[in-house]
Structure 1
Amino acid sequence: MNETNNLGVLLADDQPVMRLGFAALLRQLDDAFVFHEADTPKGALELARSVEPTIALIDLFLAGSLGFDLIKRLRAAAPGMAILVVSAHDERLYAERALRAGARGYVMKHAAAKAMKQAVQAVRGGKVWLSEALRDDLVNRIASAGQPDDPAELHSLSDREITVFRLIGQGLKKGDIARELSLSPHTVETYRSNIKKKLGLASGAELYRQAFLRSQTLPV
């Protein structure tokens, strides 16, 4: 374990400029932070195990891979490390899933520096951090059903169903999705059926239409 692990920060993003920006921002909070950088899930896991940082800032789609499994593995590798997801993708769709996977907070990459600092300080102090807009959205979803075109409606889908739905929106057919995800066509069809049921879609054509329309809120 690194002797300075209580000041260690894992920066996991495949864009060097983002890691540089995160480091510069965090130095304004504590210039004693020691930064450890990774640009792949494998690299992030190796650093988590060897360094055991106090906090990790990770991109949800590190190296193009959906990061919920990475969050779980990071938690297992370094149980005391607080994970803050910093993402360009819709917090209404992904933040709650990230928290369920084990993250302590979710902040958008375009957030103001003040919000980013607040998020880091919150998770470092053992608290959960979500934007005010997202907290309001969660309260509204509890109080009333989401509107048909609200991305939050997709909240009912599992992580794997979200992935299949995203690929349908990109125009991939059942066989293509099966190859992409290393699944059988039968399993993909089961996911398609579950998605239609959860979203109240009557046909495959309607599924393709909705997936295409929602693709603007889902990462490519």
Structure 2
Amino acid sequence: MIRVLLADDQALLRLGFRAFLNQEPDLEVVGEAGNGEEALSLTRTLKPDVVLMDIRMPVLDGIEATRRIVAGGSPAKILVLTTFDLDEYVYAALRAGASGFLIKDALPAELINGIRVVASGAAAVAPAVTRRLIEQFTPHLPEPLQPPAEQPLEGLTDRERDILLEIARGRSNREIAEQLHISEPTVKVHVSRILTKLGLRDRAQVIVHAYETGIVRPGNAEHITGQPFG
């Protein structure tokens, strides 16, 4: 059973979400929050698997609530809702630790699938979309985003570095498998190890990490830390 917390300032919208989510045999809505502070508090007490988080809420917005939930060490995955598919709010949410985003007018089946995907540990956003989003907004952010990490890939094997670069290029597991001539299950194993070694939550965070530490740069995912790969 996937435990879901709804965080949205529109009560009617929460009611609709609750109605169709609770019809699914593997989903259970365990609570509702009308603002970011409530979402933060209820995440601590109810321990949901997934928080369906609106971005624009009173008291505390969804981006800051996401950042605090992730910083607090909660294992809950955050799936953000937005009115627009590619805007600075979505990018900020990914930077804060969200595992994906959906448009508010998404079909119920898309929302249900997104919840299941993030609950499984994957990212509910196409890798290519994540990369495009990052490349669009990183040039306009203050520099540096983070101090360049010393040996940001220390501990990764050569194969893991190759796969990290392919993730940063926006490629799916299947595309990576074809590019590197390995099986898709092998790619998944390597991705899991990369997440563990770098302390990241999912592949969306791998892409954010790659750009914000300077491992790759907007418009150039061909090199990692100045050295050619693949």
Confirm or deny: 8 A CA contact 2:8 2:34 kept in the other structure: yes
Selected match of 1:76 from 71, 84, 91: 71
Task: State the Cα distance separating 1:16 from its structure 2 match.
Answer: 0.5
Sequence identity percentage: 32
1:16 aligns with 11
Distance 1:113 1:70 in 2: 24
Distance 2:10 2:79 in 1: 17
Distance 1:83 1:77 in 2: 13
2:187 aligns with none
**2:119 maps to amino acid:** R
Partner secondary structure for residue 91 of structure 1 = coil
List runs of 5+ in structure 1 lacking aligned partners: 1-5, 146-151, 160-220
**1:157 maps to amino acid:** H
2:140 aligns with 157
Partner secondary structure for residue 61 of structure 1 = coil
Task: State the Cα distance separating 1:88 from its structure 2 match.
Answer: 1.4
1:37 aligns with 32
Spell out the pairing of 1:190-205 with structure 2 (5 A cutoff).
none
Distance 1:15 1:140 in 2: 30
For residues 13-63 of structure 1, give each alpha carbon's deviation from its aligned partner in whole angstroms, at most 9, with x where no partner exists: 000111112212322333661421111211111111111111100101112
For residues 130-177 of structure 1, give each alpha carbon's deviation from its aligned partner in whole angstroms, at most 9, with x where no partner exists: 1x5xx55456679xx8xxxxxx4x453349xxxxxxxxxxxxxxxxxx
**Alpha-carbon distance change, 141 to 51 in structure 1, aligned in 2, over 3 angstroms:** closer
Deviation >6 Å, runs of 4+: none
Confirm or deny: 8 A CA contact 1:91 1:108 kept in the other structure: no
Task: Tell me whether 1:85 sits opposite 2:68 in the alignment.
Answer: no
Confirm or deny: 8 A CA contact 2:77 2:99 kept in the other structure: yes
Task: Tell me whether 1:103 sits opposite 2:98 in the alignment.
Answer: yes
Distance 1:111 1:121 in 2: 15
Task: Tell me whether 1:56 sits opposite 2:51 in the alignment.
Answer: yes
Using the size of structure 2 for normalisation, the TM-score is 0.53
RMSD of aligned residue pairs (Cα, Å): 2.8
Confirm or deny: 8 A CA contact 2:81 2:104 kept in the other structure: yes
Task: Tell me whether 1:115 sits opposite 2:73 in the alignment.
Answer: no
Task: State the Cα distance separating 1:67 from its structure 2 match.
Answer: 2.8
Distance 1:80 1:137 in 2: 24
Confirm or deny: 8 A CA contact 2:86 2:133 kept in the other structure: no
Aligned length: 142
Task: State the Cα distance separating 1:97 from its structure 2 match.
Answer: 2.6
Partner secondary structure for residue 9 of structure 2 = coil
Partner secondary structure for residue 63 of structure 1 = coil
Confirm or deny: 8 A CA contact 1:104 1:123 kept in the other structure: yes
Task: State the Cα distance separating 1:123 from its structure 2 match.
Answer: 0.5
Task: State the Cα distance separating 1:66 from its structure 2 match.
Answer: 4.2
Task: State the Cα distance separating 1:126 from its structure 2 match.
Answer: 0.8
Distance 1:59 1:82 in 2: 14
Confirm or deny: 8 A CA contact 1:55 1:83 kept in the other structure: yes
Partner secondary structure for residue 10 of structure 1 = strand
**1:109 maps to amino acid:** K
